[in-house]
A and B are shown apart, each in its own frame.
Chain A
Amino acid sequence: MKRVTLFAGHYGSGKTNVAINYAMHLKETGFNVVIADLDIVNPYFRTKDSIEELNAKGIRLISSDYAGSNVDFPALPGEVYSLFDNTSEYAVLDIGGDDRGAFALGRYRDKILEENDYDMFLVINKYRPLTKTPELCVEVMKEIEEAAGIKFTGIVNNSNLGDETTLEDVLNSKDYADAVAGLTGLPIVFTAVTKSLAGAGDEFFKIKLQKKVFEED
C-alpha cells in the first residue's frame, strides 16, 4: 500500500464518501491517517461535513476554514503541505470533481511525484450520465490527468443509483468497470457498495454513507 492515496473522478461520482470510508478503513487497520479535502469546486457535500466522526476516530482532517461555512470560496489551507512534510502519516486526498477540481492538485504535484509513494484512484459510476459509457469515462479521466499532471493508478467502481441502488445495479456495472479497466490498462482496486445494501458479500468495499446536507427527515 502506498503512503498517499488520492481519490479523483467525475463530479458526483461519490469521491467524498469513498475517501472518508477509505480513511476510516485505514485507521481501523492500524495506520496513522490524515484526510485532506482539496475540493475547490463545490461548497456543499464536503469532507468537513463528517468532521465529528473523523475526529472521534482519531483521523486528522485538513480542510479549508471556508468548507461548510456557506462562504462560497475556492480555497486551500496551507496545512495541506504538512501531508508531505510528515511522512509517518498515511494520507487520503479527496479531490474536487472533474478537471476543474483536479486543477487544485497542480500545486502539490511535484511533491507527490518526488516522493513517488502514491496511488491515484479514479472513482467511477456507470449511472452518471456524463460517464455512462466507458469511452466517456476515459475522456473525463484524461481531462483530470491533464489538469492534475498525475496519472491514475487504479479504478474504484462506485456505480450506484443513490438510495434506490440494488445489488443487481452494482453487478450490472461490472462489464462497464471491466471495459474502463481494459481501455486504460488500470486495475479495479475495489467495488464499493453501501453497508445497507442487502445481499452484498465480502468481495465489496462496504461504505457508510455520510450525512446528506439536505436531510428531509
Chain B
Amino acid sequence: MGDKVLMKGNEAIAEAAIKAGCRHYFGYPITPQTEVAAYMSKRMPKIGGTFLQAESEIAAINMVIGVASAGYRVMTSSSSPGISLKQEGISYLAGCDLPALVVNVERGGPGLGGIQPSQSDYWQATKAGGHGDYHNLVLAPASVQEMASLTIKGFELADKYGMVAMILADGTMGQMMEPVEIDDIEIKTVEKPWALTGTGMKREHNIVNSLYLKPELLEQKNFERYEKYAKIERDEAMFEEYLMDDAEICLVAFGITSRVAKNAINEARAKGVKVGMIRPITLWPFPKKAFEARADQCKAFVSVEMSMGQMIEDVKLAIECKKPVYLCNRVGGMIPTPEDILSKIDEVGGAK
C-alpha cells in the first residue's frame, strides 16, 4: 500500500492518470477543473511527459485525437462550457474508435452558467454530446479516492473497447480535499495494431479515419459499434447499493448527491423508514440490472440530482415504469441538503 496523501479531486485525477501511464495531457484552464491542468503542468515535465496548454478546448481535443491515433494513453479535461466545445472532437474519436480519457468537472449551466457545482451535463455525457450514433463510457466518482480509481479504470476501459471514457464529476468532487492512496499499478495495456506508428516498411499503412464514402460501409461500421456497446452494457455496468436489502423507497444518486443521500438515509433509518440507495458508478452503461432486481421490491424511486431531472429518465426506463419515480433536485450550483431529501422521502410515503 502507498502512503496516504491529502489531495483535491482534480489533483487525484491527474496523478492517477500519470500512474495509468498517461504521458500526454492537452487542456485549457477553466474553473472548477483548473487544478487538473495545474498539476499536470508541474508533473509532466519531470517524468518526460507532455503538458500542453492549447489555444482553445477545440485545439486540445484535436491534439488528443492525434496522440490517440498513435496508440498512446492521452487525456484532456475541462468543465461544462469547455466540454461543449470539445464535442466535435469527441464525435470524431468515436467515429475513429479511438481510446481517450475526457474529464468533465461540471459547473452550473446552460451557457457560461456559474462556477458552482452541477450534474446537469448528464444527458450530454450519456446520450452522446456530439453528432452521430455513439456512446461514451461515463464514470461518476463520489470521493477523491474514486476520482483516482475511476480515472485508472477509465483508461483501461477506453483501451479495451476503443472508446472515449469520460469522468463525469461535479465541481464539488474536483474541489474537495480528502486523504487518498494512489498506488503504483501494473499498467494493463492492450495491443493496438491499428496505431499510426510508422510502417517500418514492414506492413501496409494504417488508416485512422471517420469518413466513409460508401453508405453500406458506414452502416456496417455503426452496426459493429453497437454490437460492442451491447457487450459493454452486459459486462461493464458498475453500481453500489446502500441499505437496499429491505428498502421500500430507493434513492438513486451519483457523485456528491449520493453522499448527501447517505446522510439522509441514515437519518430516515433512525426514524424507522425503510429507505436505501442505488448509486450508479457507470452512468453509461447505466446499471439497469440493479434496478430490475429492485423494481418489484420498492414502492417508489427518488432520483436525487443536481439537474432539472436527467438521470430520472434512465431510472424510469430501467424499472420499465413499474413504480413511480420522483425527482429531488437543486440546480444552478446548489446542492440538495439532507433535509431536502428527507422531506421528499416523507412526501412519497416514507413517513413512519
Contacts and interface: CB of A to CB of B under 8 A. Distances in A.
Decide if the interface of chain A is mainly helix, strand, loop or mixed: loop
Interface string A130-172: 1010000000000000000000000000001111100000000
Given A12-B8, A70-B115, A129-B15, A162 B179 contact: yes
Nearest to B177: A162
Contacts of A98: 38
Given A70-B114, A127-B5, A12 B177 contact: yes
Nearest to B180: A129
A70 B32 CA distance: 11
B4 A214 contact: no
Nearest to B337: A217
Contact of A214 (B6, B15, B39, B256): B256
A25 interface: no
B109 interface: no
B259 interface: yes
A132 B6 CA distance: 10
B162 interface: no
B6 A161 contact: yes
Contacts of A175: none
A160 B114 contact: no
Contacts of A118: none
A198 interface: no
B163 to A, nearest CB: 29
A43 interface: yes
Contacts of A162: 6, 177-179
Interface in B86-103: none
B39 A130 contact: yes
Contacts of B172: 214
B187 interface: no
A38 B335 CA distance: 28
Nearest to B41: A100
Contact of B116 (A70, A130, A163, A216): A70
Interface string B5-21: 11110010001000000
B15 A217 contact: no
Contacts of B202: none
A72 B115 contact: yes
A153 to B, nearest CB: 25
B295 interface: no
Interface in B61-83: none
A210 to B, nearest CB: 13
B310 interface: no
Contact of B117 (A72, A127, A161, A214): A214
A119 B5 CA distance: 29
Nearest to B260: A216
Interface string B36-65: 001100110000000000000000000000
A216 B116 CA distance: 14
A125 interface: yes
Interface in A93-112: 98, 100
Contacts of B124: none
Contacts of B115: 43, 70, 72
B176 to A, nearest CB: 6
Contacts of A100: 38
Given A44-B32, A70-B116, A216 B5 contact: no
B297 interface: no
Contact of A11 (B38, B176, B263): B38
A162 B177 CA distance: 7
A128 interface: yes
A213 interface: yes
A14 B307 CA distance: 32
Interface of A: 11-12, 43-45, 70, 72, 98, 100, 125, 127-130, 132, 160-164, 212-214, 216-217
17 contacts: A12-B8, A12-B177, A43-B115, A45-B175, A70-B333, A98-B38, A127-B4, A129-B5, A129-B15, A132-B5, A161-B6, A162-B177, A162-B178, A164-B178, A212-B176, A214-B172, A216-B256
Q: Which 5 A-B pairs have the closest CB atoms?
A: A161-B179, A127-B6, A129-B5, A214-B172, A164-B179
Given A70-B333, A164-B4, A216-B256, 13 more contacts: A11-B38, A12-B6, A12-B177, A44-B175, A70-B115, A98-B38, A129-B5, A129-B15, A160-B6, A161-B6, A214-B117, A214-B176, A217-B260
